[in-house]
Structure 1
């Protein structure tokens, strides 16, 4: 079995929802819901990587594992890389802390995708997930990140050709449609530690999408396709909807 570590980056600061990881109207802090979903994946270790002592205390209180990381990190991947340094896991998965309803099977698929992509003639630097666009999501909206994929390679895994906040491909003719990108990533321990050494790139800075740094440096991003995205928590309205769904369980 592939040894895997799930790292959940969780910052206290949030421009749209301050203190988001510690919101607890369900009776549990939001970060606990995410940790509990991640722990349902067989054979993995789960750790929260944070920049705030309040989150450390909350995770310790429910029996989770949390580590303090440098508050100056510019991306969640940088934070994950610090938290995973020295761990012997073969694959490290970055699961966002504001995904309390993430399906454990989706995380498992990401691990399987990255393991398969390492057997290819062109191993992947990282792997991620996409899904068809939900009917209630506008593909032209800049907050919905679009992905276009290659055909499957010799290992049966597709690759990202590009990600954008703009609508791609341009619908001039034909039936090609973009996928919605989901913000989960899997790395080998070597590629994860290499990521912070890659210089920031013009496309990354233009679109504010860190995965473009990987593509712009010439590396491969493998992509698994799932049926749908779990609702993330970005706004007070998102959180209110989550609380309501939890109350109905």
Structure 2
């Protein structure tokens, strides 16, 4: 069903379970890719691993063919923020690659992203990834019934800015999270910063993909001539982390985390049905 006011899809519990099935395909594929990343592997080889993983689970890659996109994952290296097209690029020691992955099960979507270091990565860049991932979890923890989409952005931005040197990080504004369900991208948009003003309230049955992208330098980006790959304007690195979360009466349930988010939410003291539903 849809909420008439703002066309936000609200799922039944049974539909959320189908999304969980898609989310587990994504989560397991990303874990496989995390283990596969090493110096010398190409982003195209990672894409082949991902497609095999998704299809062997009986799912369909969300990204392949989406508006003409030619691959099953996005593989964005170093200063590439998002939408990097896999190919012949060889990953080198010290690189970081952000891997975005989506899968469809019975018409329902899951979407998540991780950033993985290749070999020995500098401490500053490891910290950039840590901050981005932890900011994601602060946003996921804010995805509770009765809160708003704006509260998620506030939680993400507040965490980033509270870190040592956090005011120097750039939080990308042109690319944001989104609703997800029967389509990969749906209302509402989910900014990773406090956009001000009113925003939709969160109700049980909504599902969101929350995906902060944080830059070591400025937040401004540009798109390369392939019309897909987004890079930082200043050439500094960016990291991208994402999960799909369902709003439930008992709290947030991270559909793309293998444990449903149980461990991270427990550490944050956030009530969640994850432990019972993992």
The normalised TM-score by structure 1 is: 0.30
